[in-house]
Amino acid sequence: MLRITELRLPIDHPPESLRAAIVRRLALAPEQLADFTVFRRGYDARKGLNFVYTVDCSLNDVAAEADVLRRFADDRHVGPTPDMHYRFVARAPEGAPRPLVVGFGPCGIFAALVLAQMGFRPLVLERGKTVRERAKDTWRLWRGHELDPESNVQFGEGGAGTFSDGKLHSQIKDPKHHGRKVLTEFVRAGAPEEILYLGKPHIGTFRLVSMVEKMRAEIESLGGEIRFRARVDDLLIEDGHVRGVILADGAEIRADHIILALGHSARDTFEMLHRRGVFMEPKPFSVGFRIEHPQALIDRARLGKYAGHPLMGAADYKLVHHAGNGRAVYSFCMCPGGTVVAATSEAGRVVTNGMSQYSRAEHNANAGIVVGITPTDYPGGPLAGIALQRTLEARAFDLGGGNYDAPVQRVGDFLAGRPSTAPGEVAPSYKPGVRYTNLASALPDYAIAAIREAIPAFARQIPGFDMHDAVLTGVETRTSSPLRIRRGDDLQSVNVRGLYPAGEGAGYAGGILSAGVDGIRAAEAVARMIVGADEIAALT
């Protein structure tokens, strides 16, 4: 196979011209090109609007491929296709012990899936409900101001990213093709194939629901088991080694290998782990607001005359500003053509986040505008970040009127330091509802000052970003885990053997893709421990 990078074609090129472009680029006779697949497609709007392809192609005979490699030896955009296959590290031996996976978000799903595919029959314990039941509970908050603390946007089958935009970009390096494995499994479960090659793929919330169900079915068909409404409330630790868990209903389950894939909102579980002495430390995270603009404004700024072009879709943005008070302000989890969602898992608190459907066709664009904070802002040990999150979320609940409506403010009023009293041109999308107010007391003063400085600075990159009627909705507090459960090179807790903290909650991932990758790595670490390094070395 040969790989060509940087192959440019105008975005409205007919499909067959890609084949012709490959033939031309490699100076082949047309019949020599047997087949090709698109490995990546991005776009470049600098000189006209072009798709920029990376393609893998096979020729009709090996000698012709060798000839191309010789002719293009000095051309860095033509070469052999690298091997992208994910390989399992082990096979489960007969009678292998059954590992536990706690949590069935992307990290737990991929940990369980890969364990099952290797022949270990994992038992998954998930505190929430199946994804369909959970969707109904989540809608009860969004439509009816009614929160179920065990079944919501954060908790339940699929984890935190189920009701999301399903963005799958990640900056992680991928030498062992874990990221590719995640994307490939998503496609097998029903994601559009384009996620394998688009530069910034996304799935949208609607499909994620059925994909999660398909992945559960595969784990079960391989001998795994998933128990819902099974909240882990305690750990059994003997002589520095975990030996099992105790569930909320008092049931005890023994296991010597436990992957903790808890997500960043399992505050009660973090408290329990801390009480049990599992080593953890505070970690930086970010707090801020969601901002909403008309999507058309973002499209105009990012795509110029190509705004609204059907092949371009709704435009996104990524912004950073270093404020005079030393704080970094940045856009977080931008959702083109999406909605702002109520994302609390605790009673008496308001938390925002964003989601989109695959079509990204809603009227508004939204993103978190958040300020980086560090443990010096919340001294007091590993759980102090959670205490700060709770304080801010409770304040937002009060500012919103105490019924899960969110506090909102028009950007012009926020910048001028006066309360908003009525809606403007941009209608907030947060459900169940909003209350116009002054957000100045919703975050620490340094964060408010930094955001006040950042918004006009962002408007220099996206004209109109500071439009008077853009809407800020408070508060965005669950940007990542406020703590890290320390683990060693073997991915086990540094002081409790057999415990594998993984994913976003443990501080090792920051999104769906990276959480899935970390789940695979945790599964591999468990397999290595069970099978033994010598056996594995003999296999490879």
Ligand X SMILES: Cc1cc2nc3c(=O)[nH]c(=O)nc-3n(C[C@H](O)[C@H](O)[C@H](O)COP(=O)(O)OP(=O)(O)OC[C@H]3O[C@@H](n4cnc5c(N)ncnc54)[C@H](O)[C@@H]3O)c2cc1C
Kindly tell me which residue out of 179, 511, 524, 526 binds ligand X, with binding defined by CB under 6 A.
511
Binders in 209-238 for ligand X, by CB under 6 A: 231-232
Cβ neighbours for 139, distance < 8 A, ≥ 6 positions apart:
none
Convert residues 179-198 into a mask of x (bound to ligand X by CB under 6 A) and - (unbound): --------------------
Stretch that binds ligand X, among 30-38, 61-69, 97-105, 136-144 (CB under 6 A): 97-105
Instruction: Please give the Cα distance from 230 to 125 (Å, whole number).
Output: 5
- Given candidates 56, 505, 517, 531, which one binds ligand X under the rule CB under 6 A? 505
Handedness of CA 24, 27, 29, 34 (dihedral sign): negative
Least spacing, CB of residue 296 vs ligand X, in Å: 22
The distance of closest approach from Cβ of residue 354 to ligand X in the complex, given in angstroms and rounded to an integer, is 6
| By CB under 6 A, residue 428 contacts ligand X | no
Q: If binding is defined by CB under 6 A, does position 289 make contact with ligand X? A: no
Size of site (CB under 6 A) for ligand X: 43
Angle at 162 between CA 252 and CA 407, to 5 degrees: 105
Task: Using the minimum distance from each CB to ligand X, give the nearer residue, 2 or 337.
Answer: 337
Locate 172 and state its tokens.
Answer: 């992680």
Q: Among 102, 118, 353, 76, which residue's Cα sits nearest to residue 222?
A: 118
CA torsion, ordered 213, 216, 220, 222, to nearest 10 deg? 120
Residue 431 binds to ligand X (criterion: CB under 6 A): no
Tokens of 367: 């993103």
Question: In angstroms, rounded to a whole number, what is the distance separating the alpha carbons of residues 522 and 509?
Answer: 12
Structure tokens at 98: 């059954």
Taking CB under 6 A as the criterion, the residue among 278, 442, 485, 512 binding ligand X is 512
- Least separation in angstroms between CB 348 and ligand X: 19
How far is Cα 514 from Cα 512, in angstroms, rounded to an integer? 6
Strand partners, 335: 366
Pair 227, 123: CB distance under 8 Å:
yes
The residues in 258-287 that bind ligand X, with binding defined as CB under 6 A, are 261-263, 266, 269
Cβ neighbours for 30, distance < 8 A, ≥ 6 positions apart: 20, 23
DSSP 383: T
Residue 103 as a binder of ligand X (CB under 6 A): the answer is yes
* Residue 137 near ligand X by CB under 6 A: no
Tell me: does residue 102 bind ligand X (CB under 6 A): yes
Q: Is 372 in the site for ligand X (CB under 6 A)?
A: no
Q: Least distance from C-beta 19 to ligand X, angstroms?
A: 33
Per CB under 6 A, the list member of 372, 385, 503, 507 interacting with ligand X is 503
Binding residues for ligand X, rule: CB under 6 A, are 102-108, 125-128, 153-156, 159-161, 163-167, 231-232, 261-263, 266, 269, 333, 341, 343, 353, 355, 503-505, 509, 511-513, 515
